[in-house]
Amino acid sequence: MLNHLTGSETRNPDLNDPTCHSHSFSHSQITWILLPNKNPACRRAVVTLVTVANATRMKALILVGGYGTRLRPLTLSVPKPLVEFCNKPILLHQVEALVKAGVDHVILAVSYMSDLLEREMRVQEERLGIRISLSHEKEPLGTAGPLALARELLNVDNEPFFVLNSDVICDFPFKDLLQFHRNHGKEGTIVVTRVEEPSKYGVVVFEADSGRIHRFVEKPQVFVSNKINAGIYIFNPSMLSRIQLRPTSIEKEIFPVMAEQGQLYTMELQGFWMDIGQPKDFLTGMCMYLQSLRQQAPERLHTGPGFLGNVLVDPTAQIGENCTIGPNVTIGAGVVVEDGVRIKRCTVLKGARVRSHSWLESCIVGWSSSVGQWVRMENVTVLGEDVIVNDELYLNGANVLPHKSINESVPEPRIIM
């Protein structure tokens, strides 16, 4: 059960030595024992345990408080962190990578649909054996304010903590980031990634050899750097003193000051990266992720007659005869694809059905939606939950809100309310 104060249940250890009379206090999933002086051997043993635990304990804060407006209509049904990306909720890609790096306490800065998040996190807390806390924003606090709100959870020791945006997908380099951060010894490290058109972004200017950041330049018209903030950070707790509990931008108000004082460094990300917070980027990120799977875990991809390139299929999905699936397709749990269907560069979410001889490219089909026979959908068409598209229709860039029935073609991109 999720404890509203600690985020987890605690267990009292069995002390066999009767001289170890004690009292206890809870931290994470262990109850530590404070021993009296009468038994030095027992006291030394427990102090050793506490020291070892402190050496390995790490924390992370994930900024999930936004309303997910860019990913509508999907986020009208579930909070964005729980939308399945390549058959796993976006948030779990991040949490599982953090756990692999040694994090055992994850703090979620939340506001929107927090009850749904809390229910899911109870399950994941038990499954992963970690502590998950929810830090509730009563008002939007920007990208720095949530750190101040969670100060008491983050500032329990001198160990650094990770911070990341909930929209980011990549090969998360948490172990390398921790080592790099410890080596330079300053207050903060941000991960950067290379982009082809830096004039569209705010870029980071830093020393190539050391990684020390000099300044940030917003949408440069002449080339100064092609590295941008990737939304993944690690900080020492001392940086929390820089942030007040009010709406604050970490990128505009905190980072420039840290850089000017020589306290902010950068590590360049290797491999793919994408902000998947809107449908077209969600699909691009899916393509990148599937290619990464091809390189690192090809056995997870589906192969066989009719499957082209990188395709991820849940074992409970049913695929009909004479279909052509791929490249770059994700098919979720309980999906039914009938005979003669063509799907490429699409995500089909849990419980959806695509009826015979339909043609889908660059689409997201929402949970429990139904696509009729001989339908053509393309150009980042997104169906919300429980949408019905009737037979023989054409949808071009349609954005369909949940529980709608589509009875006529949508030849030009628009929102169907």
> Where in the sequence numbering do the catalytic residues fall?
219
User: What residues form DSSP beta bridges with 34?
Assistant: 23
Closest to 373 measured CA to CA, from 390, 388, 387: 390
User: Tokens representing 262?
Assistant: 């020589």
Q: Which residues contact 399 (CB under 8 A, 6 or more apart)?
A: 72, 73, 279, 381, 382, 413, 414, 415, 416
Nearest Cα residue to 269 out of 143, 159, 173: 173
Strands 59-63 and 353-354: unpaired
Where residue 89 falls (left for φ over 0; alpha for ψ -120 to 50; beta otherwise) is beta
Burial of 324 (0-12, 13-18, 19+ CB in 10 A): middle
**φ, ψ for residue 285, nearest 5 deg:** -60, -35
Q: How far apart, in whole angstroms, are the C-alpha atoms of residue 194 and residue 37?
A: 57
What whole-number distance in Å separates Cα of residue 176 and Cα of residue 412? 46
Q: Are 265 and 220 in contact (CB under 8 A)?
A: no
Give dist(CA 352, CA 363) in Å, integer. Answer: 13
CA distances from 414 to 279, 381, 401 (A): 14, 9, 11
The pair of structure tokens assigned to 175 is 């172990």
User: Coil, strand, or helix at residue 339?
Assistant: coil
Peptide bond into 73 cis (omega under 30): yes
Distance CA(359)–CA(241), nearest Å, equals: 55
What is the 3-class SS of 234-281, one letter each residue?
Answer: EECHHHHHHCCCCCECHHHHHHHHHHHCCCEEEEECCCCEEECCCHHH
Residue whose C-alpha is closest to residue 260's, from 214, 224, 217 = 214
